[in-house]
């Protein structure tokens, strides 16, 4: 008897490796005090307004949620100045990425991504038995010219992760304009803007304009996980014209966004002071990390996000491992084919101090000098 054969596309998948959960590091190293700076979560905690809404919603969780997320979609539409029919919500931005791949990819289609970029694009491209076309970054930024040059009649989706994870770099408005002029109608451009709210560059592209203009091959994805501190309830959204969203709605799970996520999302959108506080803390923390890294003789890639890519050198994975034994979880970057780097999320002021101090100790122990 031969074993049940899994779907052929899965052979090509390198499983997604998330940041280590705090509980796992506690168990493995017997530590009580752990700092997690590995998944770009909000170190200030969840939006207080969202927490209040969650408390109120708990008494209703015996009821199925609104599968259409009417109120949340309308709140988002007001917030973004688009039509409610141009908004869909998902089980995280991840959920929207998955729906997009399920809805659009046929066997043998081509998907263009940056290398390195967010790993989920690769995984679902393979699930759908489509071909992954990875275009190396240039100076740690997406190479939009190279990505446009890679378009063929089989190209179906281009993922533009802007700012790009794990590098924290952006592509600018003029570059995106030039790029979009080269993209033919049969190609869907997915702008993954998970860190949109953190960007303060003036020449950052306003991609929602494409949707407002009715462009039929653009999807913009954002999330409540980062700026609003709601990674644990899982809520993200996509913005596109209804023609682009219709296939996604066909493949979506009927209740993909649960009741708690819907309530939290509506409340978080009104939490301006929390967003402002997060942005200020992120900007200050980023400067502190830059200075600390420089003092240690290392360098980093200037970031437009709440994380920083730090060049540690050939022994980066040892450094990450030793930080772990001190209760500090950061992201190793070998899976991104950046073995000399680690990625660290900006934490609270105290966490940032502890990170730099621990890094200094580890570098001394390993006799690494920048
Ligand atoms: C964090 C992240 C996501 C996933 O967001 P969720 O809403 O938590 O699923 C998607 N894309 C990028 C680039 C991210 O960094």
List the 331-332 sheet strands across, edge first: 299-301, 307-311, 341-345, 331-332
* pLDDT of res. 277: 98
Give the Å distance between the CA of 93 and the centre of ligand 1. 5
370 falls within a domain: no
Distance in angstroms (rounded) separating the CA atoms of residues 204 and 224: 20
User: Which of the listed residues 76, 223, 343 should we mutate to test ligand 1's pocket, taking the one with most ligand atoms within 8 A of CB?
Assistant: 223
308 and 202 co-located in one domain: no
Preceding omega of 166 cis (within 30 degrees of 0): yes
3 falls within a domain: no
Tokens of 196: 């949109």
55 and 111 co-located in one domain: yes
Of 205, 239, 268, the position where a domain reaches its end is: 268
Give the Å distance between the CA of 5 and the centre of ligand 1. 31
Is the Cβ–Cβ distance between 49 and 270 less than 8 Å?
A: yes
Mean pLDDT, the chain, integer: 96
Q: What is the pLDDT of residues 259-299, one digit of tens each?
A: 999 999 999 999 999 999 999 999 999 999 999 999 999 99
Q: What is the pLDDT of residues 180-216, one digit of tens each?
A: 999 999 999 999 999 999 999 999 999 999 999 999 9
81 and 98 co-located in one domain: yes
Residue 368 has pLDDT above 90, yes or no: no
Pick the atom of ligand 1 nearest to 94's CA.
9
182 and 64 co-located in one domain: yes
- Strands, DSSP E only, in the chain? 35-36, 87-90, 110-115, 131-136, 155-161, 188-192, 218-223, 236-239, 299-301, 307-311, 328-329, 331-332, 341-345
158 falls within a domain: yes
Give the Å distance between the CA of 81 and the centre of ligand 1. 22
185 and 300 co-located in one domain: no
Residue nearest to atom 1 of ligand 1 (CA): 194
Residue nearest to atom 11 of ligand 1 (CA): 194
Residue nearest to atom 14 of ligand 1 (CA): 194
* pLDDT of res. 369: 75
Preceding omega of 116 cis (within 30 degrees of 0): yes
C-alpha 115: how far from chain center:
15
CATH number at residue 326: 3.90.1150.10
187 and 300 co-located in one domain: no
Structural domain harbouring 24: 8-45+273-365
334 pLDDT tier (thresholds 50, 70, 90): very high
- From the list 278, 206, 201, 238, the residue with the least C-alpha distance to 40 is 278
Please state the rounded mean pLDDT for residues 112-116. 98
74 and 174 co-located in one domain: yes
Residue 189: strand, helix, or coil: strand
Is the Cβ–Cβ distance between 296 and 356 less than 8 Å?
A: yes
The secondary structure of residue 327, as a DSSP letter, is: T
Percent of the chain as helix, strand, coil, to the nearest 5: 45, 15, 40
2 falls within a domain: no
Of 241, 268, 295, the position where a domain reaches its end is: 268
* pLDDT of res. 25: 87
Q: What is the pLDDT of residues 4-30, one digit of tens each?
A: 999 988 988 888 877 888 988 888 888
Q: How many domains does the chain have?
A: 2
99 and 196 co-located in one domain: yes
64 and 139 co-located in one domain: yes
User: Which of the listed residues 226, 233, 303, 309 should we mutate to test ligand 1's pocket, taking the one with most ligand atoms within 8 A of CB?
Assistant: 226
What are the backbone angles phi and psi of residue 210, rounded to the nearest 5°?
-60, -40
Distance in angstroms (rounded) separating the CA atoms of residues 230 and 49: 11
Place of tokens 């000399």: 340
Q: What is the pLDDT of residues 146-162, one digit of tens each?
A: 999 999 999 999 999 99
Q: Which residues surround ligand 1 with Cβ inside 6 Å? A: 40, 92-94, 118, 161, 165, 192, 194, 223, 225, 231, 236
248 and 332 co-located in one domain: no
Tokens of 193: 């803007």
* pLDDT of res. 294: 97
Q: What is the pLDDT of residues 64-105, one digit of tens each?
A: 999 999 999 999 999 999 999 999 999 999 999 999 999 999
DSSP labels, 81-108? TS-GGGEEEESHHHHHHHHHHHHH--TT
Residue 240 has pLDDT above 90, yes or no: yes
CATH number at residue 79: 3.40.640.10
17 and 85 co-located in one domain: no
225 and 349 co-located in one domain: no
Distance in angstroms (rounded) separating the CA atoms of residues 161 and 165: 7
What are the backbone angles phi and psi of residue 332, rounded to the nearest 5°?
-70, 155
1 falls within a domain: no
85 falls within a domain: yes
pTM, 2 dp: 0.96
Of 233, 252, 268, the position where a domain reaches its end is: 268
Q: What is the pLDDT of residues 320-332, one digit of tens each?
A: 999 999 999 999 9
User: What percent of the chain shows pLDDT beyond 70?
Assistant: 99
């Amino acid at each position: 008897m031969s074993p049940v054969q899994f779907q052929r596309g899965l052979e090509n998948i390198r499983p997604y490796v998330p940041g280590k959960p705090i509980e796992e590091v506690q168990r493995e190293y017997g530590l009580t005090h752990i700092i997690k700076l590995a998944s770009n979560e909000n170190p200030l905690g969840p939006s207080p307004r969202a927490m209040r809404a969650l408390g109120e919603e708990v008494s209703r969780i015996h009821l199925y949620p609104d599968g259409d997320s009417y109120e949340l979609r309308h709140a988002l539409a007001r917030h973004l100045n688009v039509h409610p029919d141009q908004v869909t919500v998902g089980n995280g931005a991840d959920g929207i990425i998955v729906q997009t791949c399920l809805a659009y990819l046929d066997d043998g289609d081509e998907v263009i991504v940056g290398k390195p970029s967010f790993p989920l694009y690769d995984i679902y491209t393979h699930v759908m038995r489509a071909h992954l076309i990875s275009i190396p970054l240039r100076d740690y930024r997406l190479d939009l010219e190279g990505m446009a040059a890679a378009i063929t009649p089989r190209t179906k989706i281009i993922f533009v992760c802007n700012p790009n994870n794990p590098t924290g770099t952006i592509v600018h408005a003029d570059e995106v304009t030039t790029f979009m002029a080269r993209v033919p109608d049969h190609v869907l451009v997915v702008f993954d803007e998970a860190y949109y709210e953190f960007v303060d560059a003036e020449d950052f592209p306003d991609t929602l304009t494409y949707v407002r203009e009715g462009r039929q091959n653009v999807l913009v994805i954002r999330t409540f996980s980062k700026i609003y501190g709601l990674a644990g309830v899982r809520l993200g959204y996509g913005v596109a014209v209804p023609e682009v969203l219709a296939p996604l709605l066909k493949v979506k799970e009927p209740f993909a966004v649960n009741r708690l996520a819907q309530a939290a999302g509506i409340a978080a959108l009104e939490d301006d002071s929390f967003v402002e506080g997060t942005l200020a803390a992120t900007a200050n923390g980023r400067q502190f990390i830059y200075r600390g890294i420089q003092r240690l003789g290392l360098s980093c890639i200037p970031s437009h996000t709440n994380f920083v890519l730090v060049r540690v050198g050939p022994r980066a994975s040892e450094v990450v491992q030793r930080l772990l034994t001190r209760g500090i979880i950061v992201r190793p970057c070998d899976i991104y084919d950046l073995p000399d780097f680690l990625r660290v999320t900006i934490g609270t002021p105290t966490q940032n101090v502890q990170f730099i101090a621990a890094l200094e100790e580890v570098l001394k122990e390993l006799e690494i000098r920048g």
